[in-house]
Structure 1
Amino acid sequence: MTTRLFIDGAVGTTGLEIRARLQGRSEFDLIILDDAQRKDESARRDALHAADIAILCLPDEAAKEAVKLAKGSGTRMIDASSAHRVAEGWTYGFPELIGHEAIANAQFVSNPGCYPTGFLGLVAPLVRAGLLPADWPYTVNAVSGYSGGGNALIDRFEHDPAIAFRAYGLTLGHKHLPEMQTYAGLTHAPVFSPAVVPAHRGMVVDVPLPLAAMQATGGADDLRAALAAFYAGSAVVRVADDTPAEVLLRQGTAPGDGMALHVFGSADGTQARLVAVLDNLGKGASGAAIQNLNLMCGLPEETGLTLGVTPE
């Protein structure tokens, strides 16, 4: 059975990539609006009501408005914005954490943020297992390719080669923090230090752990083993069993929808670093939306995904 699908906001970075990935898939019949129609509220309402599933690739306020336009339609939704990630009635679209059946049966799914995907993928299973405390003031250091900032940031980086590093979110209170805290089950929101580097795509999320100070109940090997057990059998998330001397993001990194998790520990066992490597446009955005779409349509979650390829 073919699923009628509407991508509202198909001209942004995430929307364009989702549309390109789905155009060759016979399971979906894409509802496409021309340039004039996509800005017309009536045309968008008609498309939202005609679709079986709509994927919202819009700014937060526009995503909320799209939900209002679709009211009464019964259309299922995947929202790629941050508007509904901790909202009542929405299922958080991280199947490895929330459960595949929960996604499959949901009407409203909110796609996780790219940085939270790395942070939660590392921290949430370990807090659940009791290996890390829920009340610790965690810090998160992360870098992303500039494509995560949308068309304006893409244009800025591609026309100003002098930019080598861009730190932002310096007033704190980043919009990703509520989902990080909520789905990791933390008492305190982490201190989040995001940055952008001159690579189109790719992301590294680094969570330092002073194990001795936090009185953690396990060392690096225990943390790694717990993550490996949690993600055993996952087609998307891989836990590395080695400890490379470096983790790289390359400017020409190929697209990929997997996520690699690393655990590094000090020789004396007093410190560790949890590191996630992913494609900010893959598992961090478009790839996650397609994974969730597959589950909602009763398809194997990895259908149409590029797996086995993650940045170094």
Structure 2
Amino acid sequence: MSIAALAAVTVLNLSRPSPAAAPEWPTLPAMVDDGTLSVMTYNVKGLPFPLAQDRPAALAGIGEALRELRLAGRQPDVIVLQEAFTPEAKAIARRAGYAHVVTGADADTQLEPNGAGDAFLQQASWIHGEGMGRWLDSGLVILSDLPIVRVRSMVFPDTMCAGFDCLAAKGVVIAWVSVPGRERPLAIADTHFNARKAAGVGPERANRAFARQARAARDFISANVDPGDDLVFGGDFNIGKDKARILAARDLVPGGREASALADCSSCAPELHADVAAIRKRGKDKQFYRGALRLKGLEVPLGGARGRALSDHLGYVARYELN
């Protein structure tokens, strides 16, 4: 494992990807306002080679699938992506026809002071990717049919990451979108928390980083989004069934509710029921929402049961009624 870890770190140093501009495809029309907001969260596994193989074709497929949804008038109003590290992953936005796109922090973002006296930081292991700086950007991208009027982002510092996750500028990005007929913009947040097993370090260290990230994300949201504002916070939270992570993520969005947990799928078609069950069982891809939003239901247009599994995660859509 140490040799494999060193090889991965070496490759990342030699082939550091740049956030190249995505090729341009014609922007397609947005949907007519129907009093609802649909938000998709999707980890697209846009990792550079050799961390993932054969991804360019799958990433192009994701873009084309989203474009097909748009041509059918069924595209999500907003999409929050994770692991969109490569140019091919970022190109999903334009390929799918979204006019408004923002990305999270890049690899060169200035981090907070590293907390030299922090015992957690003093135990960092460079062979597991810690203390080597950021070689990848955040991998976070927000796509929107609605105009984006403001953006804020943050990066989890070295005191809040563990293992190979430290090589990416993971954090949180918030985009405020202008919704027709509403006086105040609606906040959409995207994040990707520290992995557990895939981080390459022991679960106790990975969980300590996770707990710190959860606190930092909660504080960042609280500091930037007014308590009375509408908010959807989606992403790959990497909570799973780990009891320590479930506890650490409690009240991540004060006053918020979790879409996938509350959706009534009792009368869903069998394939949708299977996809929603898989999302709930895995417990990583989530959307929390609060404010004048009412959950209407879930869709899984890029779900495994429908033969559209183009990533190791399922891309699902929560549809909200705007009160």
TM-score norm. by structure 1 comes to 0.29
Q: Which has the higher strand share?
A: 2
